[in-house]
Chain A
Amino acid sequence: MPPVSLTINGRSHGPIEVREGLSMNDFLREVLGMTGTKFGCGAAQCLSCAVIVDHADGTSSTTPTCIAPATDFDTLVIRTVEGHATNGELTPLQKSFVAHFAFQCGYCTPGFLNEGQVLLERLERAPIPRADLERTIAEALDGHLCRCSGYVKYHQAVRDVVLADPKRFLT
C-alpha cells in the first residue's frame, strides 16, 4: 500500500496509504469524499472527471482521473471544481457559466470548468490574436462531452470572459 501525498485546492492531503491500482477518481470520490469530480465513462472519453494539475513551471493542465492510479498523483498540486471559488467569490468563469446558463444537468460542468480555467490561465500567459479565439476555445473544450447543452453556451461563456478583459487574454 504505497502512500500518496498531494495538495488539493491548496490543502495538503496525506500521506494516505492507497491500494495499488486505485484510480485517482476513486481516491477523490471514495477515499476523500470529494464527489465534485465526476465519473462518466471510465476511459477518458468524456472528461467529466478531469482535474487541474499545477506544474512547477507555473503552467497548468487538465488530466482525467478515471484512467490513472492515485499513485501517479503523488506530490502533485491539483485543483478540483470545489476549489475554484475563494473567499466567498466565484471566479469570472464560474460567474460566466451561471450567467450564460451554460449547463443543464451539470454533470459535465466540473470538467468544462477546469478546462476553461486552464485555457484562460494559458491565454493570460500567452495571449492570442482575437481571430484565433473561437478556434482556440473549440480545440480546448473538444475533449469534453456534454449531452444536454449542445455546447453552445459553454463556448460563449468562456469567450465572454476573454472578451470582457481583452487586454489580459488577447494580443
Chain B
Amino acid sequence: MLFDRRLATILPATALAGLLAAAGIALSAPAETLAPPDAFVAIADPAQRSAAYFGELSKVLTHPRCTNCHPATDRPRQGNSARLHQPPVTRGADGFGTASLRCGTCHHGANYEPAGVPGHPEWHLAPAEMAWEGKSPAEICIQIKDPSRNGGRSLADLVAHIGDDTLVGWAWHPGGARVPAPGSQQEAKALVKAWVESGAACPQ
C-alpha cells in the first residue's frame, strides 16, 4: 500500500498508525493492546516499517505506567492521572530516593493491595537523562538510542530492559485500580526487537 509520504512527515507515529487503521489496514491495535510486528509487513519501506514498530511501542513508553517513573523533573508522578507523587519524593543521588525518603520505604517487594501501594524489590526512578514525560515518540526514540541518555545501553540492552526487566514488567501487572500498560511485556519485547532488527529507525 502506497500512501503519501508527506503525511508520514507531518503526522506523529501514533496518528500515522491510527490513519492506517482507519484505512482498513490491521497495523495498529486499540489503545490498550499492542499490534504484533507482523501487522506492519504491509509497510514496504524498511525505515518506515521500523519507525512504525516504534510508533506502536510508544503506546507503552508514553503510558503513565512508564512516564510516572521516567519523569521530566526529579519528582515522580502517580496514578492513572499522572499527578505529582505524594508525599513529595525526589530521585536522590542513586534514583532510589533521598536519605530520608527512600523508594523502598513504602514500595516493598510486592504490591500491597489493602492500601493500594505498588511494590517491586527494585522500585526506583529512571535516571534524569532518561526522562520521557511530556516527550513525543520521535523525541523518545532519538533519546532511547543515545547511550548517553539511555543508561549506557546498547540496542540489545534495550530489548532486554523493555522485554525482560521485572520492574518494567510490573507496568503490565500493576494491580488495583491502575490501568496496565498496553499489550503485554512479551508483545512489547517483540516490537522492540523488530524495531532494533529493522534498523531502529525513528518516527519523524
Chain A positions near chain B (C-beta within 8 angstroms): 21, 23, 42-47, 61-64, 66-69, 72, 115, 118-119, 122, 139-145
Contacts and interface: CB of A to CB of B under 8 A. Distances in A.
Given A43-B116, A115-B100, A119-B100, 11 more contacts: A44-B106, A44-B117, A46-B87, A62-B105, A67-B112, A68-B106, A122-B99, A139-B98, A139-B100, A143-B100, A145-B87
B29 interface: no
If over half of B's interface residues share one DSSP class (helix, strand or loop), that class is named, otherwise mixed; here it is loop
A144 B101 CA distance: 11
Contact of A42 (B98, B99, B102, B115): B115
B20 interface: no
Contacts of B86: 45
A67 B116 CA distance: 8
Given A21-B114, A43-B115, A72 B88 contact: no
A79 B102 CA distance: 18
A61 B102 CA distance: 9
B113 interface: yes
A122 B100 CA distance: 10
* Count class of interface residues, chain B: 10 to 19
Contacts of B19: none
B149 interface: no
A45 B114 CA distance: 15
B99 A21 contact: no
A23 B100 contact: no
Nearest to B88: A142
B43 interface: no
A144 B86 CA distance: 10
Contacts of B114: 21, 23, 69
Contacts of B98: 139
Contacts of A45: 86-87
Interface string B48-79: 00000000000000000000000000000000
B108 interface: yes
Contacts of B99: 122, 139-140
Interface string B90-126: 0000000011111001101100111111000000000
